[in-house]
Structure 1
Amino acid sequence: MAQKRRKIEPKRNTKRYILSDFDCDVLVVGGGINGCGVARDLAGRGWRVTLCEQDDLGQHTSSAATKLIHGGLRYLEHFEFGLVRKALREREVLLRSAPHIVRPMRFVLPHDPAMRPAWMIRSGLFLYDHLARRDLLPGTATIDLQRDPMGRCLKPHLDRAFVYSDGWVDDARLVVLVAMDARERGAEILTRTRCLASQRDSAGWVATLQPRHGPSRQLRARALVNAAGPWAERFLREQARPAGSEALAGRSLRLVKGSHIVVPRLFDHDHAYAFQSADKRVIFAIPYEGRFTLIGTTDVELQGDPVDARIDDAELHYLCEQASRYFRQPVRVEDVAWSYTGVRPLLDDESGDPSAVTRDYLLEARTDAAPILSIWGGKLTTFRKLSEEAADLVGDALGERRAAWTEGAVLPGGDFTDWTPATGRPDADFDSFVTAVRSRYGWLAESPLRRIARAYGAHIGRVLRPTAAAMGEEVVPGLFEAEIDYLRAHEWAETADDVLWRRSKLGLHLAAAERERVARWMDGDTAMRKVA
């Protein structure tokens, strides 16, 4: 196992290039969290970067996570100590870098004697607390569910629970903010642009890029990064072509479908729950969007095209049944307000159980001709570290390693010092920031104010105006014309789904007619804009 997950160091490329022969230094294919992270890191080191994504940023796997920044407590059972340590370190980095979209969360793990014994859980949590330095998050505690408020929503036979710390993230916005930072550092970000083909020779890559609307374009790059996620293996086999007949695809991905359901709120506090299931998996129940509870996830082998992945009846019933084993209020299929499914591109380690497949990543570089780096596997929490290692490898392949920089950097909107003094506690600083925003924009109701503060952080002034009248029309409750214009101009939003399900989760709060109104607005149907 260990040797399959090691990064493969490339040979130093000593060829001399005339930079004017190339449109960019590196072409990154794939606009999920890993592709955007690599583009950001490379651009911040001074390389010329172009990123192309066939759909919207983060439209697939990277917006379909359980929304957790975590070490992966259950990975300890599979002896993935290196992965857990790495993820725990990154947890604190992300809490500091984006406190508007990443926040601490406490998790209640009820003890069910029929599952893992208490000593095993205590041992695992001790390791979880001590495998990496922990400055921002409190350690593990034990609570009496018969007396503690955390037990009120649970079945009465449960009498003890462990409480531990992890983090929550708005995954789709994380992708967008990383892409924005990449662009601010000089990267070209092309959404809805497919890489039809890329030809490799000894000097570089010639790629044919096809926008969804408009003529194709040829681009010449010194190096290529394959960050196509679930399509990474297919990209190597079908789009990336060497000069001769040698195939570039040497590894295989294991595609594992993970589905989630959203139901009306099952509890009224800010802790989440981690439930042990009979198949040794862990199911999370997380407070979501104020009025809802998010429950997930499943691990199901996928054989078809990732773009067609949907939750099936078996997954739906599985999630409802597992949650109902713990909650006093049964979770029924008819309660589900929304569901979503993502496909995890996991490195195939020949494990028989999809839930046991490693979540670690492999960076595989080939430098026998123009460099190509392929990213296999990975998880949301470790994207920054993956990107840093990938940029190091690309630098070696291009003949110049440049200094890493992202560990202490802040993502767009994450620096509140113009609004409130820093205390060293990102969560407390965010609360102070919201107070300052409330004072400046008193005309805005509390619910949209907090949503907008979360989404844009210290860049909120780029979205909000001094008065409601200056915001333009309120297209649907809480969504104004000015915000839509901002999303179009600065965040690559083109469709209603971009706005309602990825840049925000407003779609969950709107009726079908209101979602249709946003769709017509995005399509430019001005006749509908005045329809109530």
Structure 2
Amino acid sequence: MVNESYDLIVIGGGINGAGIARDAAGRGLSVLLVEADDLASHTSSASTKLIHGGLRYLEQYEFKLVAKALSEREVLLKAAPHIIWPMRFILPHQKHLRPAWMIRTGLFLYDHLGGRQTLAGSHGVTFADHPAGMPLKSEFQKGFAYSDAWVQDARLVVLNCMDAASRGARIMTRTRAETAVRNADGWQVTLKTMDGETSEVRARGLANAAGPWAVRFLDEVASQKHPYSLRLIKGSHIVVNQLFDHDHAYIFQQPDGRIVFAIPYERDFTLIGTTDVEHEGAPGKVTIEEDEVRYLCESANRYFERSINPDDVVWSYSGVRPLLDDREDNASEITRDYRIQLDTAGGAPLLNVFGGKLTTYRRLAEDAVDKLAPELGNRQKAWTGNDHPLPGGENPNPDDLVASLRASHAFIPPSLATRWVFNYGTRAMTIVGDARSLTDLGEHFGADLYAAEVDYLREHEWARTADDILWRRSKLGLRLDDSEKRRLGDHLAQSFATPMEMSASLR
């Protein structure tokens, strides 16, 4: 029996699916988003966590992609200042890899292609006079500085889903689309939860934003003929204890032509990545290989005075980028631009999304809904590029918000107030609620994680497991020991007796 009907069903709870659900709901369409696992549980939480134009893409003459990404960088900085913020990058110069004139030309283009408004421009750096020079080997004497932005990637996905839910969308996690049957007037989709419960829903249109599973969805779930082929490119990162004590990141050129970033991470760590390796296995089973760890360690050791080895890695993560196969031999050279295809010839509208970058997700979603909405009788204009902050981003100055939170709740330690604001923005006040002391925040699970935050994530952000909280909603997994993680998992297991969906609305 069919239980519910929607204008649009979105398959996939990564950044593209979340962006499409938000955009469509904001135009007045009734939307259901279905995700087989947790939100951002695969590719969208395995990025280098940058909102950037992609400096290296200029060498591939991807000027349109870089300009689009740089333009989006400005939009996203304004929409989510609590989870996206400016970061300066240092590029040490090695003339045998790229001549200085080429780098200056690239940085000039990078400064001007996307209509830079708020970020500082690029300039040359003499390392003897700059704090970024101290951790580097003495052979590096000069380099370049430029601007990009940092993002908490998995939180960006969650906030898009929260905004979609506040506009009427239904978000179902841990729910798999088992079959999708296409008729002339709509789609009938069979859903199955992780608890084994099944239901059927209908929609007038369907958006396939399943990322690495997009082609498999067409083949095995929707049974649709298509000409598409994906190449899965694995990117892996390692995290080590802090290698430098300043807030600049580094971009390191490698002898093989690739670049590797070294980025300040979670106050006490350094994030190093990424690799580009063809992945032949299942998209959901991706782990870093020993040779990738060695490659990243060697990449950093070419530049830093203090060397690292695989034993220094405290955490690593890997994900696959689903890129349309353009027959390019070098994985690093495959285009990162997206492809959107609308199919109406076989019955009800089917929109397929392939590829893309975290930075351009909003534009991708806008383009997708621009194509799809008219097929559903909706003519409302695009809206997400205007002044519509994501949840928690209403205050453009997070530092002021930290000061305000500390002034009104002096019992909150500065480090906790800062972490809350730079994760939840204005929603931090919802977490603290009526608390008058740390004790009022409930059980302490370790580090600075209290039950009040856990309950907020459970009630408003679809968090169900310890991993959801420790590695996606936050990175507190770096700070809790095994017994603390088990205690958190037990707490969450006792909290859920029902459904995998919940309201993210804080209306």
Count matched residues: 491
The residue aligned with 1:530 is none
1:146 alignment partner, SS class: helix
Distance in 2 (alpha carbons) for counterparts of 1:270 and 1:168: 11
Contact 1:70 1:381 in 2 (8 A): yes
Distance apart, 1:400 and its partner CA: 3.1
Distance in 2 (alpha carbons) for counterparts of 1:476 and 1:431: 25
Contact 1:476 1:518 in 2 (8 A): no
The residue aligned with 1:324 is 301
2:469 alignment partner, SS class: helix
The residue aligned with 1:441 is 409
Distance apart, 1:398 and its partner CA: 2.0
Given candidates 441, 448, 456, the residue that maps to 1:478 is 448
Distance in 2 (alpha carbons) for counterparts of 1:139 and 1:472: 46
Gaps in structure 2 of 5+ consecutive residues: 497-507
Given candidates 254, 266, 270, the residue that maps to 1:293 is 270
2:460 paired with 1:460: no
2:480 paired with 1:510: yes
Distance apart, 1:144 and its partner CA: 0.5
Contact 1:257 1:300 in 2 (8 A): yes
2:484 alignment partner, SS class: helix
Corresponding letter in the other structure for 1:200: R
Q: Show the 5 A alignment for 1:69-148.
A: 69-148=51-130
Contact 2:88 2:147 in 1 (8 A): yes
The residue aligned with 2:25 is 43
The residue aligned with 1:16 is none
Distance in 2 (alpha carbons) for counterparts of 1:82 and 1:320: 33
Q: Show the 5 A alignment for 1:270-281.
A: 270-281=247-258
1:502 alignment partner, SS class: helix
Contact 2:38 2:174 in 1 (8 A): yes
2:167 paired with 1:176: no
Contact 1:29 1:53 in 2 (8 A): yes
Distance apart, 1:477 and its partner CA: 2.9
2:261 paired with 1:284: yes
What's the C-alpha RMSD, in Å, of the aligned pairs? Answer: 1.4
Distance apart, 1:148 and its partner CA: 1.7
The residue aligned with 2:280 is 303
1:306 alignment partner, SS class: coil
Distance in 1 (alpha carbons) for counterparts of 2:131 and 2:89: 14
Indicate the larger mover: 211-220 or 383-392.
Answer: 211-220
Distance apart, 1:470 and its partner CA: 2.2
Query: Residues 168 and 333 of structure 1: is their aligned pair in 2 closer, same or farther, counting only changes over 3 Å?
Result: same
Distance in 1 (alpha carbons) for counterparts of 2:459 and 2:121: 43
Gaps in structure 1 of 5+ consecutive residues: 1-19, 242-246, 417-425, 527-532
* TM score, norm. by length of structure 1: 0.91
The residue aligned with 2:339 is 362
Contact 1:237 1:248 in 2 (8 A): yes
Contact 1:141 1:163 in 2 (8 A): yes
Distance apart, 1:22 and its partner CA: 6.7
Contact 2:33 2:171 in 1 (8 A): yes
Aligned-residue sequence identity (percent) comes to 53
Distance in 1 (alpha carbons) for counterparts of 2:205 and 2:72: 27
Given candidates 446, 451, 457, the residue that maps to 2:419 is 451
Distance in 2 (alpha carbons) for counterparts of 1:254 and 1:39: 25
2:39 alignment partner, SS class: coil
2:140 paired with 1:162: no
* TM score, norm. by length of structure 2: 0.95
2:382 paired with 1:412: no
1:54 alignment partner, SS class: coil
The residue aligned with 2:49 is 67
Corresponding letter in the other structure for 2:101: W
Distance in 1 (alpha carbons) for counterparts of 2:196 and 2:455: 22
Distance apart, 1:473 and its partner CA: 1.6
Distance in 2 (alpha carbons) for counterparts of 1:401 and 1:363: 19
Distance in 1 (alpha carbons) for counterparts of 2:299 and 2:24: 43
1:207 alignment partner, SS class: strand
Distance in 2 (alpha carbons) for counterparts of 1:169 and 1:21: 38
Distance apart, 1:475 and its partner CA: 2.2
Corresponding letter in the other structure for 1:461: M
